[in-house]
Chain A
């Protein structure tokens, strides 16, 4: 299978929303119940077909969670061609945080870029804090997926939507 396209995707979100777990589910189909804080950045890749049947390689930069982009995180997102925004549906404030992170990223990069929002932990329905009206309002602004890294529900759909969005966006060129 030949890879014809590559895109750099930055994962943004508050701490403990499930960024690393989402990548692990999507790339390796694994999940760990233990919460292990990420520090720094980890880079993984996932290849999937885009709408035109081409192989699209997503280079996923799993950036340690925070409520704002400090100097180090700002450095990581340089050159991003798409954003995977992740919030925890059982902590409503993490939705506001990730939207603020996106705004900050757009300001730093000086350009708009495709983004998909995952509301993670939908398997914890009893603790869910994002009401349907808020979901509808979010969906008007960007593609939103309720998902669970634990069960896998909604994860692949979100990645497929992201792939579709970034494949259509201009690729730019590789850094010198």
Chain B
């Protein structure tokens, strides 16, 4: 986004959503004042200021472009990246402080002891190198993107210039994505619950529109991001979500020659759903195919799209479901569902997402049966079900399950394989459960492909028997919600 100030410091123009950078107790005026303060100083104050904390937990790379009677502050959001970097630095600094403290204690208790080795220095060094890598790459990209944005404003009526500007801007977007993809590919950044932040889908849609509309226009195609009106705020790994979307849209733009690229975002009861569609023809199956046909693109798809591979890794880390859906008119579209635990209301307060568990289970008309060995694992699963408000019946023999099925009381079954000396699949075959019954099968880990620890096939979820609590919880929520 761009904020332009006149010679006397008055705001002349704001292009983009300044409210994204307004957080905590700050107001828009505070942000404008902070930007103005950047001009103070001796001749030669910097015109590129990477990673400035503009408001509480809101970072921007800032590029200041001066003209005769005005100054333009181009802000590129760096919040997600800087928050990830801060977590990394925090761990590194705490480790260094701890090592320092130990060294002092040793020195106090044994003043003549030989110098303490520095086992954590290597860790700290790599962390600093990581930080430098990010910082070094971002400043020139901010410069590139900033100039492109300003030129775009000035050349609104020059189609040829706009095409060039679109190419420059898209190159900057791709370089930015590449830098983050590299870090994710190297394992320096991961997605997960520790990175949770609040996302406003309409703000996200505006960002995507701003990032890709010009390039789409230059390619001669339409670009639209759809968000239902009044959509809830959601709690999710913001950096990972944005990186996935940027990667997939870049990839989508490479696979479309005509028509319209439509990205739809909606927070449904079971999670955040995203559709990426090419209208009217759809994408060819092989364009996004590797996302669903290959278990680990980063390992097995050398020479393929890094953006696609990194997106797949992030999607797996976020336990998202991904499908390539056939369109009636031909071609395919990508469908993704991210599980969400909580959404935020208009006031920003978080509430637990109402999962659409079957009413028959929640009102006790039916029960969930836990037929799991060993007993400790069974009690862990039962506790998770109780947390979800589902009545649980633990059983030790197959006959008891059969009795509950006969009575029509079995709504969900969590079964370990083996159980009572029998193979889980054989038990399921013998039980002949109604199609609507939810089943979770705990199997040896090598029978569950991918890295999410669970996989779903219609109303049955297979989970690794040694899965952690979070994985079991995610799998249970998925299968019970239908």
Binding site for B on A (CB under 8 A): 6-8, 15-16, 35-43, 45, 57, 59, 64, 66, 70-72, 75-76, 78-81, 91, 171-176
Contact = CB atoms under 8 A, between A and B. Distances in A.
A79 B41 contact: yes
B32 to A, nearest CB: 13
A70 B50 CA distance: 13
B37 A78 contact: no
B40 A42 contact: no
B52 A16 contact: no
A-B pairs with the 8 shortest C-beta distances?
Answer: A79-B41, A40-B51, A79-B45, A8-B41, A172-B42, A175-B45, A42-B53, A37-B90
Contacts of B86: 36-39
B96 A15 contact: yes
A78 B44 contact: yes
Contacts of B46: 75-76, 78-79
A60 to B, nearest CB: 9
Nearest to A90: B104
Interface of B: 34, 37-53, 59, 66, 78, 82, 85-86, 89-90, 93-94, 96-97, 100, 128, 131-132, 135-136, 139
A39 B41 contact: no
B39 A175 contact: yes
Main secondary structure of the interface of A (DSSP, over half): loop
B189 to A, nearest CB: 14
Contacts of A172: 41-43
10 contacts: A6-B40, A8-B40, A37-B89, A37-B93, A39-B59, A57-B40, A79-B44, A172-B41, A173-B42, A175-B47
Nearest to A62: B53
Which of A6, A39, A75, A176 has most chain B Cβ within 10 Å? Answer: A39
Given A39-B82, A39-B89, A41-B53, A59 B139 contact: no
A66 B51 CA distance: 15
Contact of B50 (A43, A72, A79, A176): A72
Given A71-B136, A72-B139, A7 B40 contact: yes
B41 A175 contact: yes
A66 B132 CA distance: 12
A168 to B, nearest CB: 15
A40 B53 contact: yes
Contacts of A59: 37, 40-41
A78 B78 CA distance: 21
A71 B51 contact: no
B118 to A, nearest CB: 13
Contacts of A91: 100
Nearest to B41: A79
A96 to B, nearest CB: 14
A174 B45 CA distance: 8
A66 B41 CA distance: 23
A8 B132 contact: no
Nearest to B60: A40
A80 B97 CA distance: 30
Given A70-B135, A75-B139, A39 B48 contact: no
Which of A6, A37, A57 has most chain B Cβ within 10 Å? Answer: A37
B49 A75 contact: yes
A81 to B, nearest CB: 6
A72 B136 CA distance: 7
Contacts of A70: 132, 135
Contacts of A16: 93, 97
Nearest to B94: A35
Contact of A41 (B43, B51, B89, B100): B51
Contacts of B96: 15
B136 A79 contact: no
